[in-house]
C-alpha cells in the first residue's frame, strides 16, 4: 500500500453518490489535498455537521422541488484528477475514506437523515460489486460535532466515526457514539477500487449542491510513515460547476490544522 495523496473534501454528493463515477471530475470536489511522496498512514479531523438549505443565489436559487445534497469526507486516495496519483495501493487504485452524505428535501423543505458511510479495502474482502457501507446504527444530525479517523498502517486499516453531539470541541469529551466498520477493511495487501453504494442504488441524476453556508474542519492531523504531514501545505481545491452558477465553494486553510469551506456562487 502506498497512499500518495489525501483529500479532505466537501464533494458534491454526486461525486460519491449520485453522479455516475465516470462523471466525477476535479471540479466536483472541494477541500484540501495533501500530497506526500511518503506513505500516508492516517488522517483525522473534526467538523460540525452543517444545517442545510436551498441556495438563494445562482441559477437554482430558491427552487423548491428536488433533492439538494453534498458529502463531507476524510480519507486517503479517492481524489481523481489534480495531476497527481491518488492510489491507495501498490497496484490497483484504491481509496480509504469515511464520510457523511447530507440531503435536503426541497419538495417539503426539510433536512433528511444524514447517511454516514465508509469504504475501502480489497474488493474481495468487502464483497464484489458492493461499494460503500453505512455505519450501522450511527445517529447524526445537523449541529453534531463529528470526528473521522482513517488509518492505513501495516495490517491496521480502520475507519472510525465518532459523534460528540452538539458541542464545540472534542477535548475532554468522550463521544456519544463511536462506530467502526462492520466489515473488515482489509490489510496491506492492497486496496481495490470500491464503488459507492449510492452510485449503484440511485438514479444517475446530478443534484444541486445544497447550501451548507460553511463547514470548518478542525484538528486535522496527517501522519505519514516518517512523521507528520502539514495541512498548511495542502493544495486547496474548489467545486466549480458552471450549470450551478460557477464557483460553488471557497475553501481556505486555517492555521496548520484547519480548513474552512464556504458555500458561494461566484
Ligand atoms: C446560504 O445560507 C446563508 C445563511 O442563510 C446565506 O447567507 C447565503 O447567502 C446562502 N448561500 C447561498 C449560495 O445560497
The pLDDT tens digits for 69-107 are 888 888 876 555 554 444 444 333 456 788 898 899 999
Q: 264 alpha carbon to ligand 1 midpoint, in Å?
A: 8
Residue 141 pLDDT more than 60? yes
Ligand 1 surroundings by CB, under 6 angstroms: 53, 55-57, 211, 213, 263, 265
Going by alpha carbons, the residue nearest to atom 4 of ligand 1 is 213
Indicate which atom in ligand 1 lies nearest the CA of residue 55: 14
pLDDT on residue 184: 54
Helix runs in the chain, H state only: 13-16, 123-126, 197-201
Beta-sheet pairing, 214-224 with 40-48: antiparallel
Indicate which atom in ligand 1 lies nearest the CA of residue 265: 13
Q: 266 alpha carbon to ligand 1 midpoint, in Å?
A: 13
Q: 56 alpha carbon to ligand 1 midpoint, in Å?
A: 6
Residue among 263, 264, 266 to mutate when testing ligand 1 (max atoms within 8 A of CB): 263
Residue 211 pLDDT more than 90? yes
Indicate which atom in ligand 1 lies nearest the CA of residue 61: 14
pLDDT on residue 162: 98
Mean pLDDT, the chain, rounded, equals 74
Q: For 238-252, how does the pLDDT look when each residue is reduced to its tens digit (9 = 90+)?
A: 888 887 888 888 989
Compute the distance between CA of residue 64 and CA of residue 104 in angstroms, rounded to an integer: 10
Residue 114 pLDDT more than 90? yes
pLDDT on residue 223: 86
All 3 cell numbers of residue 105? 428535501
Residue 205 pLDDT more than 80? no
Q: pLDDT band at 9, cuts 50/70/90? A: low
Residue among 55, 60, 238, 262 to mutate when testing ligand 1 (max atoms within 8 A of CB): 55
pLDDT on residue 27: 62
pLDDT on residue 206: 62
Indicate which atom in ligand 1 lies nearest the CA of residue 264: 13
Give percent above pLDDT 90 in the chain: 29
pLDDT on residue 130: 44
Q: Which residues of 173-204 are buried (b: 16+ CB within 10 A; e: fewer)?
A: eebebebebeeebbbbbbbbbbbbbbbeebee
Residue 25 pLDDT more than 80? no
Residue among 53, 59, 64, 215 to mutate when testing ligand 1 (max atoms within 8 A of CB): 53
pLDDT on residue 237: 82
Which of 29-33, 35-39, 121-125, 201-205 is most confident?
29-33
All 3 cell numbers of residue 18? 449520485
Residue 197 pLDDT more than 50? no
Amino acid at each position: 500500500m502506498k497512499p500518495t495523496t489525501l483529500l479532505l473534501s466537501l464533494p458534491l454528493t454526486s461525486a460519491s453518490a449520485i453522479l455516475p463515477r465516470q462523471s466525477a471530475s476535479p471540479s466536483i470536489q472541494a477541500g484540501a489535498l495533501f500530497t506526500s511522496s511518503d506513505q500516508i498512514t492516517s488522517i483525522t479531523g473534526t467538523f460540525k455537521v452543517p444545517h442545510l438549505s436551498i441556495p438563494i443565489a445562482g441559477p437554482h436559487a430558491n427552487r423548491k422541488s428536488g433533492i439538494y445534497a453534498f458529502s463531507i469526507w476524510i480519507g486517503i486516495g479517492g481524489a481523481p484528477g489534480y495531476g497527481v496519483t491518488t492510489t491507495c495501493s501498490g497496484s490497483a487504485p484504491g481509496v480509504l475514506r469515511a464520510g457523511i452524505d447530507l440531503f435536503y428535501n426541497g419538495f417539503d423543505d426539510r433536512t433528511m437523515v444524514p447517511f454516514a458511510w465508509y469504504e475501502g479495502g480489497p474488493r474481495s474482502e468487502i464483497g464484489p460489486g458492493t461499494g460503500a457501507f453505512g455505519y450501522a446504527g450511527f445517529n447524526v444530525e445537523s449541529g453534531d460535532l463529528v470526528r473521522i479517523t482513517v488509518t492505513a498502517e501495516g495490517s491496521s486499516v480502520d475507519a472510525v466515526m465518532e459523534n460528540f453531539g452538539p458541542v464545540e470541541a472534542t477535548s475532554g469529551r468522550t463521544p456519544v457514539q463511536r462506530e467502526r466498520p462492520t466489515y473488515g477493511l482489509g490489510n496491506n495487501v492492497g486496496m481495490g477500487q470500491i464503488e459507492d453504494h449510492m452510485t449503484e442504488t440511485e438514479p444517475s441524476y446530478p443534484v444541486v449542491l445544497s447550501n451548507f453556508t460553511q463547514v470548518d474542519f478542525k484538528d486535522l492531523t496527517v501522519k505519514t510513515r516518517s512523521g507528520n504531514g502539514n495541512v498548511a501545505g495542502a493544495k486547496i481545491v474548489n467545486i466549480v460547476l458552471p450549470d450551478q452558477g460557477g464557483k460553488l465553494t471557497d475553501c481556505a486553510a486555517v492555521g496548520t490544522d484547519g480548513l474552512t469551506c464556504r458555500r458561494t456562487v461566484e
